[in-house]
Amino acid sequence: MAASATSKLLVSDIASVVDHVPSNYVRPISDRPNMSEVETSGETIPLIDLQDLHGPNRADIINQFAHACSSYGFFQIKNHGVPEETIKRMMNVAREFFKRQPESERVKHYSADTKKTTRLSTSFNVCKEKVSNWRDFLRLHCYPIEDFINEWPSTPLSFREVTAEYATSVRALVLTLLEAISESLGLPKDRVSKTLGKHGQHMAINYYPPCPQPELTYGLPGHKDANLITVLLQDDVSGLQVFKDDKWVAVKPVPNTFIVNLGDQMQVISNDKYKSVLHRAVVNSDKERISIPTFYCPSEDAVISPAQELINEEEDSPAIYRSFTYAEYFEKFWDTAFATESCVDSFKASTN
């Protein structure tokens, strides 16, 4: 696709020339952000300090994981071990990709094919959805890095080096988190990790331009993540909201922390003890926003099912979900294009 044709599809190019939201971005009245009803103060998601995770207070921190995962499905972490300079460089190169290089370089990577392992696109799934979202994104597969790094953008010149360093650091963090979450379920610490086959890791660099009428549209509408666990890096512009106790709660960015949320695969493995949680991204009229989620997931051929240790028919704890491959699940997730908030229910075990 030629750059000139592609640019007309990217919201970043539309945003620079319009003073109102084009009709294909306008949500039905019943499906708009309604910011007046969003909780912006008071309750927030738990903050877990990982500094003593490997020390004498480990049991207490594991209990914090259990509470956060069972009650919220979302939590923040600090003292996470990812160097501050690595984070800063990653955010800078993300901004440079979307803002400081020629359009012709950026759009070389455009594709609407959801199966491509490196691609620039917009909205969520432009081939399926009826209303577009106010977001452009660069999606990258990044584990094993050597399998994908040569297809990543080569500009900015530091992009591959910086992104590889960041992805490697975040993967190490995720493996630590998976051990803690596994223990918090009463399982051996390597139990969750062992269900993931060869493992998979994707990243998205999300770019949300200023929006002239943010009350009419979403950056991303309410959805649950299809993967196992997501580690979110965001700049200092608010936009993330989490659905808790029948209301939307705004999650304010906190410097030097990550936001972590559980995905559908963790809900299945935990046999519904932990839940994947509805969340969304809203936009604003004043500032662009950049967020960088890392999606950690099973490899495509991994077979996912509830952990056997959490199933006990005699104690009325049957397996809630059937076994399936992650490839089967992920394909259905992309095809729904957020038409439903979650596709996990369609993988429940038969009750007949």
CA-based nearest residue to 290, from 207, 233, 218: 207
What pTM did the predictor assign?
0.94
For residue 341, which of 248, 238, 214 has the smallest C-alpha distance?
A: 248
What is the model's pLDDT at position 3?
Answer: 40
What pLDDT shows up at residue 13?
86
- Per-residue tokens: 300: 């495509």
Q: How far apart are CA 71 and CA 89, in angstroms?
A: 34
- Both ends of the chain: CA-CA distance in Å? 49
**Mind listing the pLDDT tens digit of every residue in the chain (352 residues)?**
444 444 457 898 888 888 899 999 999 999 999 999 999 876 679 999 999 899 999 999 999 999 999 999 999 999 999 999 999 999 999 999 999 888 888 889 999 888 899 999 998 777 678 899 999 999 999 999 999 999 999 999 999 999 999 999 999 999 999 999 999 999 999 999 999 999 999 999 999 999 999 999 999 999 999 999 999 999 999 999 999 999 999 999 999 999 999 999 999 999 999 999 999 999 999 999 999 999 999 999 999 999 999 998 767 789 999 999 999 998 888 776 555 556 888 899 974 3
pLDDT of residue 192: 98
Report how far apart, in Å, the C-alpha atoms of 338 and of each of 80, 100, 179, 333 are: 31, 31, 30, 8
pLDDT at 124: 77
For Cα atoms 60, 65, 67, give the angle at the middle one, nearest 5 degrees.
95
CA dihedral over 181, 187, 192, 194, signed as positive or negative:
positive
Name the class of domain 3-347. mainly beta
Helix axes 159-184, 84-99, angle to 10 degrees: 130
